[in-house]
Amino acid sequence: MGDEIERFLDNPDNEFPVVPLRDVVIFPSMATAILVGRQPSINAVEQAIETNKLLLVITQRDPLVDDPEYEDLYEVGTVVRIGVFFRLPDGTIKVMLEGLNRGMVSNFIEKDNYLAASVQPISEVEEESKELKALYRKVENLFTDYIKMSDRIPNEVIFALKTVEDTATLSDTISSHLMIDNEKKQMLLGMGNVNERLMMLNQILQEELEMLQLEKGIDEKVNERVKKSQKELFLHEKMKVIKSELGDKEGYSEFEEMEKKILEAEMSEEGEKIALKELERLKLMSPMTPEATVVRNYIDTITSLPWNRRTEDNLEIKKVKKKLDADHYGLKHVKERILEFLSVVKLTREVKGTILCFVGPPGVGKTSLGKSIANAVGRKFVRLSLGGTRDEAEIRGHRRTYIGSRPGRIIQMLRKTETKNPVIMLDEVDKLSADFRGDPASALLEVLDPEQNENFTDNYLEVEFDVSEVMFITTANVLHTIPPALRDRMEIIRLPGYLEHEKIEIGKKFLLRKQREKNGISGRQMKITHAAIRDIIRYYTRESGVRELERKIAEICRKVARKIAEGDSPGTIKVKKSNLADYLGVPKYQESEIDQDLTVGLATGLAWTESGGEILNIGVTLMPGKGELILTGQLGEVMQESAKIALSYARNKARLLELGNDFFSSVDLHVHVPAGAIPKDGPSAGVSMATAMISAFFDIPVKRRVAMTGEITLRGKVLPVGGIKEKSVAALRAGVRKLLLPRGNEKNITELPEEVKENIEIVVVSNIEEVLSAALSRDLSYGIRKRRKIGGLFDSNSPKSAN
C-alpha cells in the first residue's frame, strides 16, 4: 500500500473514486470513522475496496445538498486509505479511514455508478528556521490552553501531541480537533506550506481563546445571578418562617393586600377560587422571577374587573328623546327605533335580546349616535374599532403561556370603564378580516349572542365573565361583507344619507358652532349665511354624510381665524354666497348631474355605493361595425351581463323596425357609464341600459329628469333591487322629478323620506314596456315611422328629436 502512495506522489495525475462529505474535513494523519449512505458514495467505496483501497474524500460547500454537483464540492480533498469496514443492516457502510495526503482535483470523472476524479498531489513545503520552531512551540501552547478552556475536547489529546515531532503532522492534528467552521478548515487543508499553515493556526487559536474567555465571563455572570436569586429566595423563605414563629405579620402585607382585593372584588366563585390559587403560587415564588411578574399581573387584572359594579340607568324616555334630538338632526325613524329599544329595556330591566347594528354610508352619524345613547341613559361609552382586525386573540385574548399575553379588547374595555354595563360600540364590523391567526368574526358570535354572553370566557382570564349587561352597538357601511351568522345576531337599523335641507340645518346648528369653538372664533366675529352653506353642499361636496361639509366649514374658519389674528377685519366677517370662492376656491361639482337636453341614447340610472346613492348617466351610441358590444366605464362582471341581457331585449324589440336579419351583424353598439375611473358593478342598471339602447335604436330621446333602477330579464320583466332609500335621496339631490322603481320595491316607498315623496313622482313598473312608456318622450311608433322615412339607422342630417 505504501507503494501506491509513492506512485501517487510521483504521478502528477492520479484517478481515485470520490466520496463527498457533508460536515467534516479529514486531514492527513487523521484516523476517523464515517457512515456512507448515499448510493454513489457506496459504489465508490466498493470500487476502492476492489482495487487499492484508496479514496479521495472532499467536503461539500453546502451540507444540505443531497446530490452534489462538481461546483458543490471544494477543489482540495484528502487521499485516504480504507481500513476496517463493515456493512450495516440498513444498507450503509461504516468505514475507518486514515488520511494520507492532500490532493488537488484537476477534473471530475463521471463513472457509471459513482464519481471519480483526477487528483494532483499537494506537496508539503517546510522551511526549517528558528522562527518555525518558535511558531511551532507557540501554536502547541495555545492549543493546550484551548483544550483546557474548552470542555468539548478530551484531555488525552494533549498527551497525544507530546508524541508528535513532525511539524506538518502537528498542524494537521490541531486543525482536525479545532471547533471551527468547515470553511476555515478547508483553507488549512489547502495550504501545502507548513509555515503558512502554522501562522494561520496561530491567528485562529488566538481568536478562539478570546471567544472562550468572553463565554467564560458570560457564564460566570449568569451563575452569579442565579446564585444571588437562589440566595434571595432562601433568605426570603427563612425570614417568613422566623416572622411566623415570632407572630410578626408585617412581612405578609403585600400578599394580604392582594388577598383583600380578591375577596372585595365580588367575583364569581370560580374566579375567586382561581385567583386565590394563583396567590398561593405567588407566595412560593421568588419575586425576581419572570413567572412571578406574570402571576402578579394576572391577579391585578382579575381583581380590577367590574364583577359587580354597574352604573344606574337613566331610562326617562322623554329625556332620552330630547337628548337625541339635541345631538342629531333628522333620523326620525332611527331615533324611534332606539327609543323603542330603550323602552323595552326600561320595562324588562335587562338589555338581553337585541344587538343594534347601524348601517349607512360614512359621515351620517353612526358613531355619534352610540355616544348619544350612552349619554342619554347615563352609561359609560367606549368605542372599539374592528377595521382590519385579523387576530382572534384581539377579541378572546391571549393565553398566559405566551410572552406579553393580555386579555382581549372586550375585557380591556370593561376594565377601562370600571363598570359591567357600559355601551360598547363595535365600529366597522363589516371590515373584519381573517387569516392563519383565526377569524375574529367567529369570536364575536359568542360576545353578541344573548344566549351565550353570560358565560363569555377570555383566554387570558380562563374564567367565565358575564357581559350580558353590556349594551353592544355595531356599525357598518355595508352588510354583504358581514358573515351571515354574525348578521343574524343583530337588528339592522339603516341610516340613509342626509337630504340637502337636513345638511343645511346640521351645518348651521352643529358643525358651524363646533368649528368656531375649535378655532377660537366667537359668533359675533364670523357668520355664514344660509345660502353659503347651501352652495357648499351643492358645489363643494358629494357625500351622503356631512364629514366633507364639516371639513369645508373648518377650512373657512381657519381662514377667518387668520384674518382676525392678523387684525385685518375688526368687525364681523360674513361669508356669503358671493364671496364663498374666496375661501374655498373654484367649485368642484356642478349643481346637477342630469343632462339638461333631450338626447337620444342617454338614460339616467341610479347606483348604491358605500357613500350612499349616485346618479349614472348611461350613454349608448350606434355606429357601423361588425356587431360588437363595446362596454366602457370599468364595468364589473354582473353589470356586463346586465348590458348583454339589455341588448338581447333591445334587439328583439328592434325587429319592429324591419331592418333585416343580418342588420345587427353590421352595427357596433357602444355603452359607456361615466366616470370611467370608478369601478362599477351590480344588476340594477339593467333597466336604464335597455332604455338607452331602445332610445338609440328608435331615435327617440329619453325624458329629462327621469331616473330609473331595476334588474331586467330576457323577457322584459323588471326585478327588485336594493338601496332604494339611498338611490331616491341621490335622485332628489340631482334634480330628478320622476323615479321609476320595480314593483317588487313598492313596499320600500313607505320608508322613503317625506321630502323625496313630496318632490318626486314615483312610478312602479313591472316590465320594460311600462318603463318605456314613462321614460321615452315619444311612443315607439314614432320611431318606427322616422326610421322608415330615412331608410335605416344612420342619417347625418337627422335633426335632434323634440319633446
Buried/exposed 648-685: b ≥16 CB within 10 Å, e otherwise: ebbbebbeebebeeebeeebebbbbbeeeeeebebbbb
Q: How many C-beta atoms surround the C-beta of residue 391 within 10 A?
A: 18
Q: Which residue has the cell 458543490?
A: 72
Cβ contact 723:608 at 8 Å: yes
The helix/strand/coil state of 498 is: coil
Q: Please tell me the predicted confidence (pLDDT) of residue 627.
A: 81
Question: What is the rounded CA–CA span in Å between residue 177 and residue 648?
Answer: 86
User: At 496, which amino acid appears?
Assistant: P
Cβ neighbourhood burial of 220 (10 Å; 0-12, 13-18, 19+): exposed
- Give the predicted TM-score (pTM) of the model: 0.56
Q: Which 8-state DSSP code applies to residue 150?
A: -
**Which positions of the chain have pLDDT values less than 50?**
1, 250-251, 592, 796-803
Residue 98 to residue 81: CA distance in whole angstroms: 5
Beta bridge partners of 16: 117
Phi, psi (5° rounding) for residue 381?
A: -120, 135
Choose among 736, 787, 725: nearest CA to 334: 725
Sign of CA dihedral 249, 254, 255, 259: positive
Digit-coded pLDDT (tens) for 65-85: 888 888 889 999 999 999 888
Calpha distance 689→631 (Å, rounded): 11
CA 493 vs CA 316, 402, 527, 660: distances in Å: 22, 40, 36, 54
CA atoms within 13 A on the CB side of 360: 24
Q: Say if CB 689 and CB 607 are below 8 A apart.
A: no
State the maximum Cα–Cα separation within the chain, in Å, rounded to a whole number. Answer: 122
pLDDT given at position 239: 66
284, burial (CB in 10 Å: exposed 0-12, middle 13-18, buried 19+): exposed
**pLDDT computed for residue 800 by the predictor:** 39
Between CA 554 and CA 563, with CA 557 as vertex, the angle to 5 degrees is 150
CA–CA dist 741, 758 (Å, integer): 16
Please give the single-letter amino acid code of residue 733: R
Sheet holding 381-385, edge to edge: 381-385, 423-427, 471-476, 356-359, 491-494
For residue 455, give the C-alpha cell. 358565560
Burial (CB count within 10 angstroms: exposed 0-12, middle 13-18, buried 19+), residue 257:
exposed
Cβ pair 202, 138 in contact under 8 A: yes
Question: Other CB atoms closer than 10 Å to residue 210's CB: what's the count?
Answer: 10
Closest CA to 236 of 291, 279, 289, 277: 289
User: DSSP 3-state assignment of 662?
Assistant: coil
Distance, in Å, from the CA atom of 101 to the CA atom of 78, rounded to the nearest integer, reads: 6
Cβ distance 803 to 598 under 8 Å? yes
Which of 552, 531, 532 lies closest to 541, judged by CA?
552
Contacts of residue 524, defined as CB under 8 A and 6 or more positions apart, other chains included, come to: 572
* pLDDT recorded at residue 554: 94
C-alpha cell at position 545: 354624510
Q: What DSSP assignment string belongs to 77-127?
A: EEEEEEEEEEE-TTS-EEEEEEEEEEEEEEEEEE-SSSEEEEEEE---B--
Residue 490: partners with Cβ closer than 8 Å, 6 or more residues away: 355, 356, 357, 448, 474
Q: Round to whole Å and give the CA distance between 117 and 425.
A: 76
Q: Judging by DSSP bridges, how do beta strands 491-494 and 381-385 pair with one another?
A: unpaired
Strand partners, 711: 719
> Which residues touch 590 (CB under 8 Å, ≥6 apart)?
539
Q: Which residues are catalytic?
A: 684, 727
Is 283 in a helix, a strand, or coil?
helix
Backbone torsions φ then ψ of 370, nearest 5 degrees: -60, -40
Ramachandran angles phi, psi of 29, nearest 5°: 70, 10
